[in-house]
Amino acid sequence: MIRRNRIFAKSILATLFLFTITSFAQTITRSTNPPARNGVTRANAPQFIVIGADDNTNAHAFTWMDTTIANGRNRDGSRRYMSFYVNTRSGWSGSNVTVRNAARAAYDRGHEVSNHTHDHPNIRDRNMTELQIFDNIMQAQNAMVAAGIPAAHQFGFRTPFLAHTPETFTAMRRAGILYDCSITSTALAGNHNYPYNSGQSHNVQGLWIVPATNVTVHPNDRAALGNRSTVAGLDWNLWSPTSGGGIGNGMDSAQTVRALMFSLTESLAGNRAPFTFGPHSQYYFDSTAAATGWFPNITAAQRRGAFREFVRQASLLEDVFFVSGDMVVRWMLNPVPAAQFRPDDYHRSSPTSIMPREIHSSKTPNNASVSIANGNINLHLPTAASNANIALYDVRGRLLFERNVAVNGNIANVALPQSIVRNQAVILQVKTNSDFNLTKRILVK
């Protein structure tokens, strides 16, 4: 059982990340230039498009967007991928599991299915604590696991309304999130930041930031849209009037396609930083949104047409690839020019995508022994103690189990819950009241 009142200490993260994907430990600073390795330059980097769909509360719309991407190819013939950041408050349990089934189907087709919280709270307006945010994230994570989407493949997170606090980032890292896509990049297309480690900007070791890029409005449409040059890169903000957080009186279908394609081509001609766009799949079948004034200039059918047209036009461009957010992070750590890029080499199914490594500091200290066998942790400590805190983490830093136990002299035995999967590598951490500390990679048997 997880002790709900325990805060995930930074010192623990620093130790645990020695055991995660070897290259994920690299420090990548925030920059408008691609990683200068393996011959990659601004002129030859792949131009990534990360479609990261939020909410996804309608099963039919979920499947429509999933298959719109999956059923086509990039210009070089490679597969197209995208990310879904899901809420799990409806359609995931009980007698109605239609959304859950759609999410599993999207995952099976190769897309990333990740976290957008359970019930879509405004974290900043509610002044939520780290524990409250963590619990909300974990509700969604557990619902996805129940649907057959492994926690180890739930890489990304976008905070609802793009509203975040410092506690948001520590909570998502505590939940084992690899990257966030909530930090807005407000630059004009062609000048956005590349993804970076968040340690220097949000003080959370191991968390990546994939910037949520603004959309750059086509110059011919700016006068009609309040003389704005950029707008937040979510479909809501493109279609909603200024009074609803959008632009002008809201874009129509043609303006939408022009803005998305102008943003893409300017990026392609500029620094080629990833272009991220956040649709909400359910809006593409919401016939009430136009009538209620949410999106006054574009019907549901026109929204679907604009999305399909953007995907079609973008797929014709050389060096352009539709990928999921986690694939971009992998590329940042092992960059290659566009001519050498193969999406499936950076997909979660790639055998090189996760590779835990042993390090010297994981060895057991002299006079101490530890093993996990038959569902029990067996400890023999080098010094006498009366109690110990024992915690298990997976290799990505998720807390799997934690318990305070009594120690009989220097021996302790702890039974693990059946929910802990056997034959997996974990990180064991032991702290006793006699100041003995141990962090060790070990196999659960």
DSSP collapsed to 3 states, 76-89: CCCECCCEEEECCC
pLDDT band at 440 (very low <50, low <70, confident <90, very high): confident
Residues 67 and 147 in one domain: yes
Beta strand 83-86 pairing with 112-115:
parallel
- pLDDT for residue 383: 78
CATH of residue 409's domain is 2.60.40.3080
H or E element in which residue 213 lies:
strand 212-213
User: Quick check: is 35 in a domain?
Assistant: yes
User: Quick check: is 207 in a domain?
Assistant: yes
The structure's pTM equals 0.77
Average pLDDT, the chain: 86
CATH of residue 294's domain is 3.20.20.370
Please determine, for residue 251, whether its predicted confidence score (pLDDT) is greater than 50: yes
Q: Which amino acid is at 274?
A: P
Residues 182 and 75 in one domain: yes
Please determine, for residue 278, whether its predicted confidence score (pLDDT) is greater than 90: yes
Check residues 25 and 212 and name the one with the higher pLDDT. Answer: 212
Please determine, for residue 198, whether its predicted confidence score (pLDDT) is greater than 90: no
Specify whether the CB–CB gap between 303 and 235 falls below 8 A.
yes
User: Quick check: is 14 in a domain?
Assistant: no
Q: Poorest-confidence range of 123-127, 288-292, 307-311, 335-339?
A: 288-292
Of the three residues 298, 316, 346, the one that is the final residue of a domain is: 346
Specify whether the CB–CB gap between 126 and 133 falls below 8 A.
no
H or E element in which residue 235 lies:
helix 235-239
Please determine, for residue 385, whether its predicted confidence score (pLDDT) is greater than 90: no
Residues 283 and 162 in one domain: yes
pLDDT band at 398 (very low <50, low <70, confident <90, very high): low
- Return the closest-CA partner of residue 2 out of 120, 128, 138: 138
Of the three residues 346, 379, 406, the one that is the final residue of a domain is: 346
Specify whether the CB–CB gap between 271 and 190 falls below 8 A.
yes
| Mean predicted confidence (pLDDT) in 245-263 | 98
pLDDT band at 21 (very low <50, low <70, confident <90, very high): very low
Residues 126 and 269 in one domain: yes
How far from 58 is each of 19, 253, 287, 440, CA to CA, in Å? 38, 22, 13, 44
| Mean predicted confidence (pLDDT) in 329-344 | 95
User: Quick check: is 6 in a domain?
Assistant: no
Residues 193 and 287 in one domain: yes
User: Quick check: is 107 in a domain?
Assistant: yes
Distance of alpha carbon 351 from the chain centroid: 20
DSSP 303: H
Residues 339 and 414 in one domain: no
Angle at 154 between CA 160 and CA 179, to 5 degrees: 65
Residues 282 and 394 in one domain: no
pLDDT band at 401 (very low <50, low <70, confident <90, very high): confident
Which of the given ranges, 171-175, 202-206, 332-336, 422-426, has the highest pLDDT on average?
Answer: 332-336
Please determine, for residue 259, whether its predicted confidence score (pLDDT) is greater than 70: yes
- pLDDT for residue 358: 28
Q: Poorest-confidence range of 3-7, 79-83, 236-240?
A: 3-7
Residues 233 and 272 in one domain: yes
User: Quick check: is 160 in a domain?
Assistant: yes
User: Quick check: is 17 in a domain?
Assistant: no
Residues 256 and 202 in one domain: yes
Please determine, for residue 5, whether its predicted confidence score (pLDDT) is greater than 60: no
| Mean predicted confidence (pLDDT) in 368-389 | 81
pLDDT band at 363 (very low <50, low <70, confident <90, very high): very low
Please determine, for residue 200, whether its predicted confidence score (pLDDT) is greater than 70: no
* CB proximity list for 278: less than 8 A, separation 6 or greater: 52, 53, 54, 158, 181, 212, 233, 234, 235
Q: How far apart are CA 278 and CA 53, in angstroms?
A: 5
Q: Poorest-confidence range of 14-18, 191-195, 407-411?
A: 14-18
Please determine, for residue 141, whether its predicted confidence score (pLDDT) is greater than 50: yes
Percent of the chain clearing pLDDT 70 (strictly above): 87
Please determine, for residue 78, whether its predicted confidence score (pLDDT) is greater than 80: yes
- pLDDT for residue 4: 37
Q: Poorest-confidence range of 95-109, 237-251, 345-359, 408-422?
A: 345-359
Residues 317 and 433 in one domain: no
pLDDT band at 396 (very low <50, low <70, confident <90, very high): low
Distance of alpha carbon 109 from the chain centroid: 18
Structure tokens at 75: 């210009």
Of the three residues 296, 311, 346, the one that is the final residue of a domain is: 346
268-277: pLDDT as tens digits:
999 999 999 9
Q: How far apart are CA 414 and CA 430, in angstroms?
A: 12
Residues 339 and 365 in one domain: no
Total number of domains in the chain: 2
299-313: pLDDT as tens digits:
999 999 999 999 999
> Environment class of residue 27 by beta-carbon count within 10 Å: exposed (0-12), middle (13-18) or buried (19+)?
exposed
Check residues 28 and 284 and name the one with the higher pLDDT. Answer: 284
Residues 171 and 209 in one domain: yes
88-120: pLDDT as tens digits:
999 999 999 999 999 999 999 999 999 999 999
- pLDDT for residue 173: 84
Residue 253, CA atoms < 13 Å, CB-side half-sphere: 14
User: Quick check: is 15 in a domain?
Assistant: no
pLDDT band at 29 (very low <50, low <70, confident <90, very high): confident
Percent of the chain clearing pLDDT 90 (strictly above): 65
Range(s) of the domain holding residue 406: 360-443
pLDDT band at 176 (very low <50, low <70, confident <90, very high): confident
| Mean predicted confidence (pLDDT) in 25-47 | 91
Structure tokens at 205: 């070791």
- pLDDT for residue 371: 81
Q: How far apart are CA 428 and CA 369, in angstroms?
A: 12
Q: Which amino acid is at 251?
A: M
